[in-house]
């Protein structure tokens, strides 16, 4: 991703000057789609530093996602109509409940939620939730063989499976998850490697310099290069307000 160093907006001339890290600049019409993309990148970075995504809950549980990303993955779930959604990374359970609520509306399906540690208060809240009937919690490392086997035991032949990776976001870990869970994804369905935005957060307070290479998007690109049975679907992240850059990998 070409990094932006500076943005200068002029509301009188209705222009946006974008200067990149290589000192090249371009002037865009302020109210164009291209200008919106550039401004969105800055908004996302500032929002990440301000913990904007921590402000939301879904049906009573903290969800820690951008609302835009939730709406977009909802679009994908409605299109695919998976019978099983496997997610790695549980935290407070907001995403588990979110996916379960969509499946409840669709009238079928269940969520398998995996985390290396499910804290007691979070487990208690999830297990007391009205949608718990559609959620199975598995505690263990998502890349441990015994965890993967436990997940596989919960799948039935012919079920349409979708996977969302949202646990440890290092390139190594996500790459391993892609290899392990990719084969479980049904034809026409997706494995989603969330939070590729890390590539663009190296210069944000709280970010790390090595995130430019060590991030889920880098793992996704590497996986795609070695797995022609998957393709990148850019449509779900067609606008710039997203943490999930190049996240949606569709099985052909």
The structural domains of the chain, with segments of one domain joined by +, span 4-53, 55-251
Q: Tell me, what's the pLDDT at 113?
A: 98
Over range 104-126, report the average pLDDT: 97
Distance CA 83, CA 35 (A): 39
Q: Tell me, what's the pLDDT at 2?
A: 81
Q: How many angstroms separate the Cα of 88 from the Cα of each of 55, 166, 169, 199?
A: 21, 5, 11, 20
Under 8 Å CB-to-CB from 85, ≥6 apart: which residues?
77, 99, 103, 109, 110, 111, 112, 161, 162, 163, 164
Q: Tell me, what's the pLDDT at 240?
A: 83
Distance CA 206, CA 157 (A): 44
Distance CA 113, CA 192 (A): 14
Q: Tell me, what's the pLDDT at 15?
A: 98
Over range 109-120, report the average pLDDT: 98
| Beta pairing class for 135-139 and 190-193 | unpaired
Over range 105-114, report the average pLDDT: 97
Q: Tell me, what's the pLDDT at 131?
A: 98
Distance CA 102, CA 78 (A): 8
User: Given phi > 0 = left and psi -120 to 50 = alpha, else beta, which region is 85?
Assistant: beta
The superfamily CATH assigns to domain 55-251 is Vaccinia Virus protein VP39 (3.40.50.150)
Distance CA 100, CA 120 (A): 20
pLDDT in tens, 26-59: 999 999 999 999 999 999 999 999 999 999 999 9
Place of tokens 């959604």: 85
Over range 175-203, report the average pLDDT: 97
pLDDT in tens, 233-245: 999 988 889 999 9
CB-hemisphere CA count at 13 Å for 17? 8
Over range 1-6, report the average pLDDT: 86
Percent of the chain having pLDDT more than 70?
100
Q: Tell me, what's the pLDDT at 3?
A: 86
Chain center to CA of 125: 23
Q: Tell me, what's the pLDDT at 237?
A: 86
pLDDT in tens, 146-164: 999 999 999 999 999 999 9
1 pLDDT exceeds 80? Answer: no
Query: Crossing angle of helices 216-226/171-181, nearest 10°?
Result: 40
* Summary mean pLDDT of the chain: 97
Q: Tell me, what's the pLDDT at 21?
A: 87
Distance CA 240, CA 86 (A): 26
Over range 77-84, report the average pLDDT: 98
């Amino acid at each position: 991703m070409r990094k932006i160093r500076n943005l200068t907006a002029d509301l009188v001339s209705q222009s946006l000057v974008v200067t990149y890290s290589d000192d090249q600049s371009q002037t865009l019409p302020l109210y164009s789609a291209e200008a919106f993309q550039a401004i969105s990148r800055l908004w996302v970075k500032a929002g990440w530093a301000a913990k904007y995504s921590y402000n939301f809950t879904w049906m009573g549980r903290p969800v820690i996602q951008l609302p835009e990303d939730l709406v977009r993955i909802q679009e994908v779930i409605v299109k695919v109509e998976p019978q099983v959604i496997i997610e790695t990374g549980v935290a407070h359970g907001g995403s588990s409940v979110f996916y379960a609520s969509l499946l409840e509306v669709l009238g079928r399906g269940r969520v398998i939620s995996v985390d290396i540690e499910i804290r007691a208060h979070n487990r208690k809240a999830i297990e007391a939730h009205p949608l718990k009937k559609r959620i199975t919690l598995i505690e263990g490392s998502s890349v441990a063989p015994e965890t993967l086997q436990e997940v596989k035991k919960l799948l039935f032949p012919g079920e349409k499976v979708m996977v969302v990776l949202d646990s440890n976001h290092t390139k190594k870990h996500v790459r391993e998850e892609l290899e392990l869970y990719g084969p479980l994804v049904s034809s026409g369905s997706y494995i989603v490697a969330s939070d590729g935005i890390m590539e663009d957060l190296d210069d944000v307070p709280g970010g790390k310099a090595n995130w430019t290479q060590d991030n889920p998007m880098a793992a996704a690109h590497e996986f795609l290069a070695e797995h022609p049975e998957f393709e990148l679907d850019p449509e779900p992240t067609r606008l710039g307000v997203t943490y999930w850059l190049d996240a949606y990998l569709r099985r052909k």
